[in-house]
Amino acid sequence: MKNWRGWVLPAIVVVASELLIRQTVTDSDVLVPPSKIAAASVVAMADGSLLHATFETLAAAAGGLALGGGFGLALGILLGISRSAFEVSFLAIEILRPIPAVALIPIAMLIFGFGFRMEISVVAIATLWPVLILSQHAVANVPAVLLEVGRSLCLGRRRTIISIVLPAAAPGLFTAARLAAAYALVVAVTVEIFANPQGLGYALIVSQQMLHPETMLAMLFWVGVIGWGMNSIFLQFQRTFFVRWSNVEQRQS
């Protein structure tokens, strides 16, 4: 394996904590040796509860991302292209953006009650802003020379946007989507921990309250694995589609 070095530190941490916790901690509501967490993971996986919770969390995160990211992307592209649209909306965005999305949980609960719709709406608002800002930035920063090429070829506005602006901004737009996906998972789990009785976050908080630290930590670890897996998929996608020409961009920026 090429990246075996990356596994050294996790292996040391697992083995060391296993030995340390087994020797020193006898009965704790927080600290459990990794072997017990692994056993709890196997149980949760076997009885289907883990996969069911994962499905609920991912569905809410994906729904929210599609909604918030989709709007954010469309608005960001619009504001990146149109200077006047940017100037009109910039102050409103800067005022609304700092409001933490999780602070909207109470309002979302009043409107939607428990369930997917509430969680999706909070994730959507949480992912809207970063996607909007990053995609506006990506579009507004298309190299000036490329735009002049479009002008000198008399491409016209529509064709300039389709043939030059959007492809030039594509790596930036993709990065926005990748970061927003990670954020969507964080927000979905947060909403489940604090309010919504479903998904991994809820499973986590329930095991905490039932004094099952090994299940709680198994959930925690599993959320990390999902986040890592999502990011890997995005990166693989990025390598497949942008690698042939992205090295030019890097060399010259």
Partner 1 sequence: MIEIEGVSLAFGGRDVLSGIDLTIGAGEFVCVVGPSGCGKTSLLRLIGGLISPTCGEIRINGKPIAGPSRDIAIVFQDYGRALLPWRTAYGNVSLALEASGICAAERGKIILRLLSTLGLAEHASKYPSQMSGGMQQRLQIARCVAQSPGIFLMDEPFGSLDAMTRQVLQDEVLRLAAERHTVTFFVTHDMEEAIYLADRVVALHTNPGRLARVVSVNLSRPRHQLATREHPEFLRLRRELFATMAEFHK
d(CA 250, CA 210): 52
Rg (CA), the chain: 22
Q: What is the smallest separation between the CB atom of 180 and partner 1, expressed in angstroms? A: 23
Among 55, 74, 148, 229, binds partner 1 (CB under 8 A): 148
Among 106, 113, 156, 224, binds partner 1 (CB under 8 A): 156
Q: Which is nearer to partner 1, 26 or 253 (CB)?
A: 253
Contacts of 30 (CB under 8 A, 6+ apart): 213
Q: What is the smallest separation between the CB atom of 241 and partner 1, expressed in angstroms? A: 9
Please give the span between the terminal C-alpha atoms of the chain, in angstroms, as a whole number.
Answer: 33
Q: What is the dihedral sign for C-alpha 168, 172, 178, 181?
A: negative
Residue 154 contacts partner 1 per CB under 8 A: yes
Q: DSSP secondary-structure letter at 239?
A: H
Pick out residues in 190-249 that bind partner 1 (CB under 8 A): 244-245, 247-249
Residues in the chain, total: 253
Residue 157 contacts partner 1 per CB under 8 A: no
Instruction: Return residues touching partner 1 (CB under 8 A).
Output: 143, 145-146, 148-149, 151-156, 159, 163-164, 167-168, 170, 244-245, 247-249, 251-252
